[in-house]
Structure 1
Amino acid sequence: MNHKRHIKAVIIVLLIVSILSSCNFISVKDNNIHPPEEDEHIELNVEDKEEQIEQEPPRSLNISVVGDIMLHGPQIRSAKQSDGSYDFKPVFSEVKSYLEGSDLTLANFETTISTPEKGYSGYPMFKTPESILEALKYAGFDVLTTANNHCLDNFIFGLENTLNKFDEYGFLHTGTSRSPEEQDKVLIVDKNGIKVAILAYTYGANGMEGSVDQSKLQYMVNFIDEEKISNDIQKAKAEGADVIIACMHWGVEYVRQPNDEQKALADKLFADGVDIIFGSHPHVIQPMERRRITTNEGKEKDGFIIYSLGNFVSNQRDRYQDSGVIINLEVIKDGDNISIGKIGYTPTWVRKYTDNGNIKYEILPVAKFMDGQLKGNENERIKSVWNETTGLIGIEDFEPVK
């Protein structure tokens, strides 16, 4: 009997040990259950990323652009210093703050960079000291277009030296090229997560085309050729451009309205996929328009054009030729959708004056100098420039900067 009791006691002890061991095992397994499986963890990450993409705010890019940068003989002589160097920075000091704050600032560089050995000159063969590039960098410019009728003024040397100096000073450029490979590349600037393609073309080169071997001319200058432009637009799209800008050197000099040829070409550029057109060459301001366009692919989108930006700096003093405009334009990217936001403009006037017997030049933002800072004829002229510019462009659809 006692033996049976002993056996029962042993069995009970073994059962208790077994139960306690089982409880401890379950506790360990339970601890291992809490962390998510690897697959579940990956699935949560994907959902988080999708949510982040959906909540990503719109991106924006502020673009500023001016018209023709030309340097006539009197301007070059005005910038010459006592040591023989040249300083053009004071010309841009009053407009610097209107340019340097933009994400991207463009200009039409309508001259060539020369050397002391090759000499400097103004119209009709523009050859300019390279110190103008120091001034443009100081003023805040990023991109200089070179497809214009003065790009061959200093022959092949001038075209190539200009681009070499642009590279040296850190300017992006388009419109002329040193090789077929360079011409084949589309200039695309990626800023604030928005890719902007910039194209540039000219109607001609003042007859200087004959000074260049025709096999080289084909790649050295981007002439207005509808088939080439269409191909470049398609190339820009294929390379992922969100926005395409076309800088067109076209129109009739000193005429304040676009002609039928400009209008027809603008319509075609928009239909092919261009978003923004900046015009130059007339040396006077021509109208600008905000458009809603339908492309050849059936896509509806925003568009903007200014047919001519006028002269930003030159020695041309006739009415309308002594003034220009700074355009400030906002591009907005919201997902895959691109739109054009605010568009403003700053009328400018080139002041030519005498200081201690020396002729000086400066570009003035018109509104800032209409309250009596200038005297006599200068005061009257700058007020007239305001009226001429706002009267042509308007103040309802576009806001002039005051």
Structure 2
Amino acid sequence: MTINDLRQPAHALNMRLIGHCDQGGRADGTQIMVRDGYAYVAHIFSRGFSVIDVRDPARPRTVNYIPAPPNTWSLHLQVHDNLLLAVHAQDQFAKPESVDERNYYKADTHDISKATGTEDRDYSAGMAVYNLSDPANPRQIGFMPVNGVGLHRIWYVGGRWAYASAQIEGFTDFILVTIDMADPTRPEIVGKFWLPGMNIAAGETPEWPLAQGRYSLHHPIVHGDIAWCGWRDGCLVVVDVADKAAPKLLTQRNWAPPFGGGTHNCLPLPDRDLLIVVDEAVLDNEEDGDKPIWVFDIREPANPVSISTFPKPSDRDYRAVGGHFGPHNIHENRPGSLVSDTLIFSTWQNGGLRVHDISDPYSPREVGAMVPQAPRHHVDHRPGRPLVINTTDVFVDTAGLIYFTDFSGGGLHIAEFDG
């Protein structure tokens, strides 16, 4: 049974909660896409993804759940036109060492130079393709296997090309891959890009201290022929993808240390020559350092210049609340969604959802917020986790409705911005 629960938010500024859904009891959510009245919510602990009918946003209801294969998570997905692309990767939080979350964010040097066959794995690695002709019942039509841990996150906004982060045997961690979607039943990787030192199989040696963190692509956002990449502790990496088979580096900007790194999103606002860069907070109580949301001037793409950062939520001492406090994700201005170059919608984990006005890019200001109540129970199976909200991903539709998920078990919230 789907439970709609409109508990009063713990904090709200210029926002009104209009709907809630527990996602059929699978209340953990990561990436969300909304198309034609249906929300597609990826899970992390519940694995797989759910389909939620949001045609009446005050009464959202779960209509389907597509499980991931055993030992596999599909925590990120993309939806465009009649296609849904879902990642397949080894469930990293099922590994015993990930009980201590710090281990997940260390350099992934498990790799061996020789490749092993996919038949030796007990999980699925690659990308699944679904047809959405019947939006409530995604039908798998294709799969692209990879030899390695799998994919982490994809960027696809239609047409022939998709872009993703992939951990492939022979590399230290996730790299950029370009994917040919000409035949969606048989997607194919045609190009790869990595930072020097990541290709262990070719004899490269990492040029960064492995103890410092993860030099690993979280995901790209592509506009024109440029992929703006969040490379975790490698920070901002700008890649020319005009040649899909041979992407090449334009520049890298690294601010970790002294800042905490963990770069997650790099969203270009091309009409204003601006770039919004999100550093993800990944450990409890800001243990991983200062994680800003940055504004860069990108008039010269090969020379991005930081010009400001967003103010942190100040209505409460969120560091003292427990769990993760700091940025995680932003609405990415996808085609078919709200596209704004002045309002930025961001998730701050135990600090909820925030809206910032960047009309003056040198002085971003908070103009909206909503912090849901803590979940009533955990979905996160790891011991000792604090029972706090972890607002994770956000999608804003063309009507201005805001859909946001919760990593820990708070379900799907639907809100309006009144600012």
Do Structure 1 and Structure 2 share a fold, with TM-score over 0.5? no
Looking at CA atoms only, which structure, 1 or 2, has the larger radius of gyration? 1
TM-score in terms of structure 1 length: 0.31
TM-score in terms of structure 2 length: 0.30
More helix by share: 1
